[in-house]
Amino acid sequence: MPRRPTRTPRTKRPRVRRVDYPRRGRVSWRRWVPSWRQVLSGVLLGATAVAGLFAAVYSSVDIPDENDEARMQGTVYYWADGSQLVSVGAVNRQNVTLADIPDSMENAVIAAENETFYSDSGVSLTGIARAAVSMVKGGETQGGSTITQQYVKNTYLSQEQSATRKFKEFFISVKLSNKQSKQSILQGYLNTSWFGRGAYGIQAAAVTYYGIPAKKLDPSQTAMLASLLKGAEQYDPADGRANHERAVERWKWILDRQVEIGMMTKTERASYTKFPEPRKAVKPTSLGGQTGYLVDIANKYIKQRSGLTAKDLARGGYRVHTTFEKDRVQQLERAVRSTRKRDLDPDKRPEDKYVEVGAASVRPEDGAVVAVYGGADATTRFANNADTAGVPVGSAFKPFVLAAALQSGNGITLNSGYDSAGRLITSGPRAAVPGARPGISPVPVPAPLTTTTLRDALIRSANVTFVQLGKHIGLKNVKKMAVAAGLREDSLAPLDTSFPLGTSTPSAVRMADAYTAFNNGGMRADPYSVTGVTRGGEPVDGFERPVPERAMDTSVAKDVRSTLGLVAWTTLAQDRKFDRFSGGGSLADLSAGATGEDDRMKSAWYIGHTQGLTTAVTVFRNKPGTPHLLGMQGVGGKRSERGNVLPLRIWASYATGK
């Protein structure tokens, strides 16, 4: 048989590697160290990929239409019954060209916000990175954006702080910088920027702050306006001492900065040494009467609960539903006006000049603010008397001292009192020596008790008794009770001997709310003025109603309330203005009230509860431009007890509708 040919075995070809990694011919860890050629190739490949991605995204992102809705839409506020309270109209803006904007304004803005504006590409990579890191860490939102980026945010995008918005802002800014001139971008920026006080754009800002068109601004004024771009809520010099100090420092820095970068000479800078004080803030006529004060309280609550800023609200488009009841607000305003007309005569009595009134009504069940009186007219007096701390509360504070004593558990009751030796005599078996711990060193109850009881001390507003009581139970415990009832800690006075006598300065809203604890079995809720906010049909988070909390025991609230009822009836009986109410039953459901005596020389208060509402009324004298309150001696005539009867008369007129 023929033999089969012998096959030569195939040799396996070595596999060809496109990339020599791990590297052949190297041992140990050296196999894993890339060569310089591999490193260079990787860098070039990565750069090519990034450039390709950038080009693809750049071409896919278009410059959107201008955000007309955010520019033009007003914010509407509604009464509690759903009817419209007021519409804060279209955005206050009047566009102007660069020809009508002084060079000093351009220089100030560039020096303050973006000194490389004319040479950069429209974006700041370091600013974006800083903002991104802050957002990832959950910190505050960061600035650092260029003028172009800020203009894009103002004009084309929403105000939300998110990675998506920053991403869009970056590419739109680059594209816009390539398509529009720097002059056009700067003009748009100056016409869309927020300057506070409802003013968008430099023209509106010039009129709002200085009463002149933008083209007439001088370099000192433009430096002040440029400082507002950092945050008008913190740099409006008319909005408190801290704001004024920040504004002055920022104004100086902007002027000095212009010298540093060659936009102003040292000689010119030396001529601007006096800060250009702007005009006082005024409100539009649509916010006249009580309307402006109602909007002010609602806006404060919105900013507190939702995180929205004044700038956000001024951009418009919100629907704000409030707790304010139209008939109650009107009734309270009528009560103030009728009392002023009847009892004050500033033409004949100089003491009746500069008298101010603040008042607020709160619903005890849930803390809803249903009515306020902030002043004669929100367009002429910007300060809101109903929601501004600064007026000493006087004897109206003493019920909190009494409540703290009754709550202390030291055996103190309404029938307790101090003897001539300064010892607290209680009606129970646990009487204690002043300063002693509960249950230690009992003092026998004398028979009969010759001291003034705490009930009588509150009715008579006896200062000495309450100074002793505050010392006995501890001023910290008095403060704790006041805070638990709802008074803000920052409105409370230092803990000295006079603290129980009412040296603290809470607002009328807070006093009314704190007294609701006495009328609601010891329960109280934080005061609220807004039930809901929407924008574009979507609800804004943060407006869940406050949950009532216990401020004191039910028995304590009941004891204080019953005593305050005696205060109210005693005071009414002593005022001949209320003879017409006797026997008529119009105040039959009155249950609480407080007024003061000779410890208050700068203010008068009355807090009453009737018809399901707790209402605080304060009267004081405040001359514009004077840092301190004026005295109340002689206000309302000789029989007014230094004006103390005025808040009582306002409250009674409001409660009865007469």
The CATH number assigned to the domain holding 203 equals 1.10.3810.10
Q: How confident is the model at residue 658 (pLDDT cuts 50, 70, 90)?
A: confident
149: number of Cβ within 10 Å: 26
Residue 54 has pLDDT above 90, yes or no: no
Last residue of a domain, one of 270, 300, 333: 270
Residues 646, 541 within the same domain? yes
What average pLDDT does the segment 140-161 reach?
Answer: 66
Closest CA to 113 of 177, 167, 190, 37: 190
283 occurs within a structural domain = no
Residue 244 has pLDDT above 80, yes or no: yes
Q: Are 590 and 608 in contact (CB under 8 A)?
A: yes
Higher-pLDDT residue of 545, 449: 545
In degrees, rounded to 5, the angle at the alpha carbon of residue 291 between the alpha carbons of residues 287 and 292 is 55
Confidence (pLDDT) at 585: 35
- Spatial separation of the C-alpha atoms in residues 386 and 458, rounded to whole Å: 25
Give the strands of the sheet with 84-88, arranged side by side.
84-88, 75-78, 318-322, 530-535, 538-539
Q: Write phi, then psi, for 42 (nearest 5 degrees).
A: -65, -40
126: number of Cβ within 10 Å: 9
Residue 301 has pLDDT above 60, yes or no: yes
Q: How confident is the model at residue 50 (pLDDT cuts 50, 70, 90)?
A: low
What average pLDDT does the segment 478-493 reach?
Answer: 96
Last residue of a domain, one of 504, 528, 551: 504
61 occurs within a structural domain = no
Residue 4 has pLDDT above 90, yes or no: no
Q: How confident is the model at residue 311 (pLDDT cuts 50, 70, 90)?
A: confident
Q: Are 546 and 563 in contact (CB under 8 A)?
A: no
Confidence (pLDDT) at 73: 61
Q: Are 537 and 635 in contact (CB under 8 A)?
A: no
Closest CA to 414 of 447, 451, 463: 451
Residue 642 has pLDDT above 80, yes or no: no
Structure tokens at 426: 């209680």
Q: How confident is the model at residue 84 (pLDDT cuts 50, 70, 90)?
A: confident
Determine which helix (DSSP H) or strand (DSSP E) holds 164, and give its type and residue range.
helix 163-179
Q: Are 243 and 234 in contact (CB under 8 A)?
A: yes
- Spatial separation of the C-alpha atoms in residues 409 and 517, rounded to whole Å: 19
Residue 588 has pLDDT above 60, yes or no: no
Higher-pLDDT residue of 362, 63: 362
Percent of the chain predicted with pLDDT > 90 = 48
Residues 414, 351 within the same domain? no
Confidence (pLDDT) at 491: 95
5 occurs within a structural domain = no
Q: Are 335 and 653 in contact (CB under 8 A)?
A: yes
Residue 578 has pLDDT above 90, yes or no: no
For the stretch 387-445, pLDDT in tens is 988 899 999 999 999 999 999 987 899 999 988 778 888 754 333 333 333 433 334 44
90 occurs within a structural domain = no
Residues 523, 436 within the same domain? no
Residue 634 has pLDDT above 50, yes or no: yes
- Spatial separation of the C-alpha atoms in residues 156 and 172, rounded to whole Å: 9
Residue 146 has pLDDT above 80, yes or no: yes
Confidence (pLDDT) at 567: 77
Mean pLDDT over each residue of the chain, to the nearest integer: 81
Q: Are 600 and 633 in contact (CB under 8 A)?
A: no
What average pLDDT does the segment 519-533 reach?
Answer: 96
- Spatial separation of the C-alpha atoms in residues 609 and 516, rounded to whole Å: 8
Q: Please give the radius of gyration of the chain, using alpha carbons only, rounded to the nearest integer.
A: 35
Residues 425, 561 within the same domain? no
Higher-pLDDT residue of 115, 6: 115
> What's the total number of domains in the chain?
3
For the stretch 604-614, pLDDT in tens is 999 999 888 99
For the stretch 389-402, pLDDT in tens is 889 999 999 999 99
377 occurs within a structural domain = yes
The sign of the dihedral angle between the CA atoms of 456, 461, 467, 470 is positive
- Spatial separation of the C-alpha atoms in residues 340 and 286, rounded to whole Å: 25
Structure tokens at 297: 């309280």
Coil, strand or helix: which one is 295?
helix
- Spatial separation of the C-alpha atoms in residues 311 and 72, rounded to whole Å: 14
What average pLDDT does the segment 583-591 reach?
Answer: 44
Residues 365, 510 within the same domain? yes
What average pLDDT does the segment 145-168 reach?
Answer: 67
- Spatial separation of the C-alpha atoms in residues 452 and 415, rounded to whole Å: 8
Residues 331, 188 within the same domain? no
Residues 461, 336 within the same domain? no
- Region of poorest pLDDT, from 23-27, 349-353, 525-529: 23-27
- Spatial separation of the C-alpha atoms in residues 552 and 400, rounded to whole Å: 10
Q: Among 60-69, 175-184, 378-387, 507-516, name the most confident range.
A: 507-516
DSSP string computed for 478-514: HHHHHHHHT--GGGSPPSSTTGGG------HHHHHHH
Confidence (pLDDT) at 444: 43
Determine which helix (DSSP H) or strand (DSSP E) holds 574, and give its type and residue range.
helix 554-574
Confidence (pLDDT) at 590: 55
- Spatial separation of the C-alpha atoms in residues 311 and 161, rounded to whole Å: 14
Higher-pLDDT residue of 422, 342: 342
Closest CA to 113 of 77, 151, 87, 76: 151
Owning domain of residue 591: 325-393+506-658
Tell me which amino acid residue 9 is.
Answer: P
145 occurs within a structural domain = yes
Higher-pLDDT residue of 213, 368: 368
Confidence (pLDDT) at 42: 67
Residues 367, 439 within the same domain? no
Residues 222, 118 within the same domain? yes
Q: CB-based contacts of 203: which residues, under 8 Å, 6+ apart?
A: 93, 94, 95, 96, 100, 191, 213, 214
Q: How confident is the model at residue 596 (pLDDT cuts 50, 70, 90)?
A: low
Higher-pLDDT residue of 626, 167: 626
Residues 470, 383 within the same domain? no
24 occurs within a structural domain = no
445 occurs within a structural domain = yes
Residue 206 has pLDDT above 70, yes or no: yes
Confidence (pLDDT) at 478: 97
Burial profile 156-189: b = 16 or more Cβ within 10 angstroms, e = fewer: bbeeeeeeeebebbbbbbbbbbeebeeeebbbbb
CA dihedral 208, 210, 215, 220 (to 10 degrees): -130
Q: 353: domain CATH number?
A: 3.40.710.10
Last residue of a domain, one of 504, 535, 550: 504
Instruction: Give Cα separations from 256 to 67, 111, 219, 623 (angstroms).
Output: 36, 9, 12, 37
- Helix 508-519, helix 475-485: angle, nearest 10: 90
Instruction: Give Cα separations from 184 to 117, 176, 597 (angstroms).
Output: 12, 10, 67
Coil, strand or helix: which one is 390?
coil
Residues 349, 452 within the same domain? no
Closest CA to 511 of 411, 369, 416: 369
Confidence (pLDDT) at 584: 36
213: number of Cβ within 10 Å: 15
Q: Among 43-47, 57-61, 362-366, 438-442, name the most confident range.
A: 362-366
Q: How confident is the model at residue 52 (pLDDT cuts 50, 70, 90)?
A: low
- Region of poorest pLDDT, from 175-189, 407-421, 585-599: 585-599
Confidence (pLDDT) at 470: 95
Confidence (pLDDT) at 448: 44
Residues 486, 627 within the same domain? no
Write down the residue that tokens 């006006």 correspond to. Answer: 337
What average pLDDT does the segment 490-496 reach?
Answer: 95
Q: Are 322 and 527 in contact (CB under 8 A)?
A: no
